[in-house]
Amino acid sequence: MIASFKLGNKSFKADLSKPLDISIPLRHGEQNVSAWYVNPPRIEPHREGDFVGSVDQGASINFNDIYFNPHAHGTHTECLGHITEQRHSVNQTVDQYFFQARLITIAPEKVGDDLVISRKQLQKNLSGEVSEALVIRTLPNTRDKVSRQYSHTNPPYFTEEAIIFLVNQGIMHLLVDLPSIDKEKDEGELLGHRAFWGLGQKLRPGATITEFIYVSHKIKDGSYLLELQMAPFENDASPSRPVLYQIF
């Protein structure tokens, strides 16, 4: 299905019959992607008295309880409330779900014991027109990203200068295939998050960060229509399903 869109002053068409899902599904157990030292997610039959909510255990229905952490267990979208004392809900923050997006691929640079995405790399990859949403795929881009255990591994992260550059470019929605835009163990500084949402400067309450995406190598760098689907959780973060569509 071909649909016409006008976002801001840009008009284009997109083929909605060919969605490119860049989310990681939530699964039970240790094969689910994980970070931040929490136990694996659990999806299990509800139990109450003699009732077990599983057809193969005699119930008439499957009736599961799900235990997970949105920040640690899969693709999620977070808002300003992730790092502020005042409560902000991502469900109240996002009231538009389609954006023109740019997909770029970056190999993080080695700096000491770390791998980082720098301002210089972003400047090189974002020459020309910049979209409201930016999707970043990091290299190497192996399939094990959908089940990797990131705790205590010091994953790649963005420098504070890199995030400030993106803010100055007008990026409102940043999507990355990492557990965080900040260093895993940074003593709570969260320099990238603070810069992206403008703490200490001008707050950007409408901005979002989506982490733990997976962009197949079959999806080429370039411009897309992004549909940012989210579960309606009243929380600072919610499980999400970003989908790209080719535009022309």
pTM: 0.96
Tell me the mean pLDDT per 10 residues along the chain, length 248. Answer: 84 93 97 98 97 97 98 98 96 94 97 97 87 97 97 98 97 98 97 97 96 98 97 98 96
**pLDDT for 8:** 79
**pLDDT for 149:** 98
Homologous superfamily of 14-27+74-246: Putative cyclase (3.50.30.50)
* Spatial CA neighbour of 176 closest among 147, 209, 145: 209
**pLDDT for 61:** 98
The residues, ordered by sequence, that sit 6+ positions from 102 with a Cβ below 8 Å of its Cβ are 126, 130, 131, 133, 134, 135, 222, 223, 224
Beta-ladder partners of 245: 225
**pLDDT for 130:** 78
Half-sphere exposure of residue 150, counting CA atoms within 13 Å on the CB side? Answer: 26
**pLDDT for 79:** 98
Asked if 229 contacts 242 with a C-beta cutoff of 8 angstroms, the reply is yes
Residue 166: strand, helix, or coil = helix
**pLDDT for 94:** 92
**pLDDT for 6:** 82
Place of tokens 């538009």: 96
- Rounded to the nearest angstrom, the gap between the alpha carbon of residue 103 and the centroid of all alpha carbons in its chain is 13
**CA–CA distance, 244 with 175 (Å, rounded to integer):** 12
Beta-ladder partners of 238: 77
